[in-house]
């Protein structure tokens, strides 16, 4: 199953990201991920390039995030984060352009996103998927 978070919760992260004191979560605007999972979907390892906005102050950030699932254990780690200095509309324009540049093998529609599957292949003991989605 694809890992497609709608939010990144501050409580899940191991470091402080947003300067504002009220920040509890970030809404994901754009996500480009590469994921490997086991046949039974019990083990999953993904790296994501995410653009998300603080739901309190509206500052936008770009995250390099790793998500690891092993059975019931899940962990998200931010390896790199930077604040985006462009305006809101510039960022949305940029996101649209990036998203549009990916050719989809097929798409998956959910309530919140239309996810483009960019690459999918069998790997040793599992499956590799590259996908991209943006907020509707
Ligand atoms: Zn904030």
Residue 31 covered by a domain: yes
Q: How far is the CA of 56 from the centre of ligand 1 (A)?
A: 5
Q: What confidence tens digit (pLDDT) does each residue in 2-12 have?
A: 889 999 999 88
Domains identified in the chain, total number: 1
What's the CA-to-centroid distance between 24 and ligand 1, angstroms?
8
Q: Is the pLDDT of residue 50 over 90?
A: yes
pLDDT digits (tens, 9 = 90+) for 88-112: 999 999 999 999 999 999 999 988 8
Is the confidence at residue 127, as pLDDT, over 90? Answer: yes
In a domain, 28, yes or no: yes
Residue partners of 64: CB distance under 8 A and separation at least 6: 47, 48, 49, 50, 78, 79, 80, 81
Q: What percentage of the chain reaches a pLDDT higher than 90?
A: 79
23 occurs within a structural domain:
yes
Distance in angstroms between the alpha carbons of the first and the last residue of the chain: 20
In a domain, residue 1? The reply is: no
Q: Which pLDDT does position 134 carry in this prediction? A: 94
Query: What one-character-per-residue DSSP string does 9-30 give?
Result: EGGG-SS---SSTT--EEEEEE
Q: What is the CA radius of gyration of the chain?
A: 15
| Other C-beta atoms lying within 10 Å of the C-beta of residue 98 | 15
Determine the 3-state secondary structure of 126 from DSSP: strand
CA 53 to ligand 1 center in whole angstroms: 8
Q: Could you tell me the pTM of the whole model?
A: 0.92
Statement: residue 14 has pLDDT above 90:
no
What are the structure tokens assigned to 30, written together? 């754009």
Cα of 2 vs centre of ligand 1, distance in Å, is 27
Element (H, E) at 129: strand 126-135
What residues have a C-beta under 5 A from ligand 1, the ion? 18, 20, 23, 54, 56-57
pLDDT of 131 reads 97
**Position 67 confidence tier, pLDDT thresholds 50, 70, 90:** very high
Distance CA 51, CA 125 (A): 31
pLDDT greater than 90 at residue 24:
yes
60 within domain boundaries: yes
Domain residue limits at 23: 7-135
Question: 17 or 130, which is more confident?
Answer: 130
Residue 61 has pLDDT above 90, yes or no: yes
Length of the chain: 136
- Residue 2 lies inside a defined structural domain of this protein: no
Give the chain's mean pLDDT.
93
Flag whether 102 is in a domain.
Answer: yes
């Amino acid at each position: 199953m694809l890992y497609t978070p709608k939010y990144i919760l501050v409580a899940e992260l191991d470091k402080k990201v947003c300067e504002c004191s009220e920040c509890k979560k970030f809404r994901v605007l754009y996500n480009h991920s590469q994921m490997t999972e086991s046949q039974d979907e019990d083990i999953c390892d993904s790296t994501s390039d995410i653009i998300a906005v603080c739901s309190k102050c509206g500052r936008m950030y770009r995250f390099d995030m790793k998500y690891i699932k092993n059975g019931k254990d899940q962990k998200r780690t931010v390896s790199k984060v930077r604040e985006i200095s462009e305006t809101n509309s510039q960022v949305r324009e940029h996101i649209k352009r990036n998203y549009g540049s990916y050719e989809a093998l097929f798409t998956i529609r959910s309530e919140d996103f239309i996810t483009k599957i960019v690459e999918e292949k069998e790997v040793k003991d599992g499956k590799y998927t590259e996908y991209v989605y943006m907020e509707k």
